[in-house]
Structure 1
Amino acid sequence: MNLSKLMLLPTLLALLTACAPEVGSEAWCQNMKEKPKADWTANEAADFAKHCLFK
Protein backbone atom coordinates (compact mmCIF):
# COMPACT_ATOMS: atom_id res chain seq x y z
CA MET A 1 0.00 0.00 0.00
CA ASN A 2 1.32 3.41 -0.77
CA LEU A 3 1.29 6.36 1.61
CA SER A 4 -1.54 8.23 -0.12
CA LYS A 5 -3.94 5.32 0.46
CA LEU A 6 -2.94 5.15 4.12
CA MET A 7 -3.67 8.84 4.59
CA LEU A 8 -7.06 8.71 2.83
CA LEU A 9 -9.05 7.12 5.67
CA PRO A 10 -7.92 9.47 8.49
CA THR A 11 -8.51 12.46 6.21
CA LEU A 12 -12.05 11.33 5.37
CA LEU A 13 -12.83 10.67 9.02
CA ALA A 14 -11.61 14.13 9.99
CA LEU A 15 -13.76 15.76 7.33
CA LEU A 16 -16.88 13.86 8.35
CA THR A 17 -16.38 14.59 12.03
CA ALA A 18 -16.00 18.30 11.34
CA CYS A 19 -19.50 18.37 9.83
CA ALA A 20 -21.28 17.54 13.08
CA PRO A 21 -22.84 20.56 14.80
CA GLU A 22 -21.22 21.75 18.01
CA VAL A 23 -22.81 20.44 21.20
CA GLY A 24 -25.19 23.05 22.56
CA SER A 25 -25.65 24.87 19.26
CA GLU A 26 -29.13 25.49 17.89
CA ALA A 27 -28.53 22.91 15.13
CA TRP A 28 -27.39 20.32 17.67
CA CYS A 29 -30.46 20.92 19.85
CA GLN A 30 -32.72 20.53 16.81
CA ASN A 31 -30.96 17.29 15.81
CA MET A 32 -31.41 15.92 19.32
CA LYS A 33 -35.13 16.81 19.31
CA GLU A 34 -35.52 14.75 16.12
CA LYS A 35 -33.44 11.81 17.40
CA PRO A 36 -35.42 9.10 19.24
CA LYS A 37 -34.93 9.47 23.01
CA ALA A 38 -34.13 5.75 23.30
CA ASP A 39 -31.01 6.36 21.16
CA TRP A 40 -29.61 9.13 23.36
CA THR A 41 -26.55 8.44 25.47
CA ALA A 42 -26.41 9.62 29.07
CA ASN A 43 -23.95 12.36 28.05
CA GLU A 44 -26.23 13.53 25.24
CA ALA A 45 -29.20 13.71 27.62
CA ALA A 46 -27.19 15.72 30.14
CA ASP A 47 -25.87 18.07 27.44
CA PHE A 48 -29.39 18.51 26.02
CA ALA A 49 -30.75 19.46 29.42
CA LYS A 50 -27.85 21.81 30.10
CA HIS A 51 -27.73 23.57 26.72
CA CYS A 52 -31.22 23.28 25.26
CA LEU A 53 -33.61 23.27 28.23
CA PHE A 54 -31.80 25.34 30.88
CA LYS A 55 -30.13 28.03 28.79
Structure 2
Amino acid sequence: MNKIKQLSFVMMMGVAVVSMQGCSPEVGTKAWCEELKEKPKGDWTANEAKDFAKHCIF
Protein backbone atom coordinates (compact mmCIF):
# COMPACT_ATOMS: atom_id res chain seq x y z
CA MET A 1 0.00 0.00 0.00
CA ASN A 2 2.87 2.39 0.77
CA LYS A 3 4.27 2.00 -2.75
CA ILE A 4 0.90 2.91 -4.22
CA LYS A 5 0.87 6.13 -2.19
CA GLN A 6 4.42 6.95 -3.33
CA LEU A 7 3.54 6.29 -6.97
CA SER A 8 0.41 8.44 -6.66
CA PHE A 9 2.43 11.28 -5.15
CA VAL A 10 5.03 11.12 -7.94
CA MET A 11 2.30 11.13 -10.58
CA MET A 12 0.55 14.12 -9.00
CA MET A 13 3.83 16.04 -8.88
CA GLY A 14 4.41 15.30 -12.56
CA VAL A 15 0.96 16.60 -13.44
CA ALA A 16 1.60 19.75 -11.39
CA VAL A 17 4.88 20.43 -13.18
CA VAL A 18 3.32 19.97 -16.61
CA SER A 19 0.41 22.22 -15.62
CA MET A 20 2.72 25.03 -14.55
CA GLN A 21 4.67 24.87 -17.79
CA GLY A 22 1.49 25.65 -19.69
CA CYS A 23 1.28 29.07 -18.05
CA SER A 24 4.39 30.49 -19.72
CA PRO A 25 3.94 32.41 -22.96
CA GLU A 26 5.48 31.02 -26.12
CA VAL A 27 9.07 32.09 -26.83
CA GLY A 28 9.18 35.05 -29.19
CA THR A 29 5.69 36.37 -28.50
CA LYS A 30 5.13 39.91 -27.29
CA ALA A 31 4.01 38.54 -23.90
CA TRP A 32 7.22 36.49 -23.62
CA CYS A 33 9.37 39.52 -24.45
CA GLU A 34 7.56 41.61 -21.83
CA GLU A 35 7.91 38.86 -19.22
CA LEU A 36 11.64 38.58 -19.88
CA LYS A 37 12.08 42.37 -19.66
CA GLU A 38 10.69 42.17 -16.10
CA LYS A 39 13.03 39.31 -15.13
CA PRO A 40 16.46 40.38 -13.78
CA LYS A 41 19.04 39.96 -16.55
CA GLY A 42 21.32 38.06 -14.17
CA ASP A 43 18.65 35.35 -13.97
CA TRP A 44 18.37 34.87 -17.75
CA THR A 45 19.67 31.65 -19.25
CA ALA A 46 21.93 31.73 -22.30
CA ASN A 47 19.03 30.47 -24.43
CA GLU A 48 16.72 33.18 -23.11
CA ALA A 49 19.27 35.87 -23.94
CA LYS A 50 19.76 34.48 -27.45
CA ASP A 51 16.00 34.19 -28.05
CA PHE A 52 15.39 37.68 -26.65
CA ALA A 53 17.93 39.16 -29.05
CA LYS A 54 16.49 37.20 -31.96
CA HIS A 55 12.78 37.84 -31.32
CA CYS A 56 12.53 41.03 -29.28
CA ILE A 57 15.34 43.24 -30.56
CA PHE A 58 15.88 42.37 -34.23
Large movers: runs of 4+ above 6 Å? none
TM-score for both structures, normalised by structure 2: 0.79
TM-score for both structures, normalised by structure 1: 0.83
| 2:46 match | 42
Gaps of 5+ in 1: none
Number of equivalences: 54
CA RMSD of aligned residues (A): 1.3
* Structure showing greater Rg: 2
Q: Percent identity?
A: 56
| 1:19 match | 23
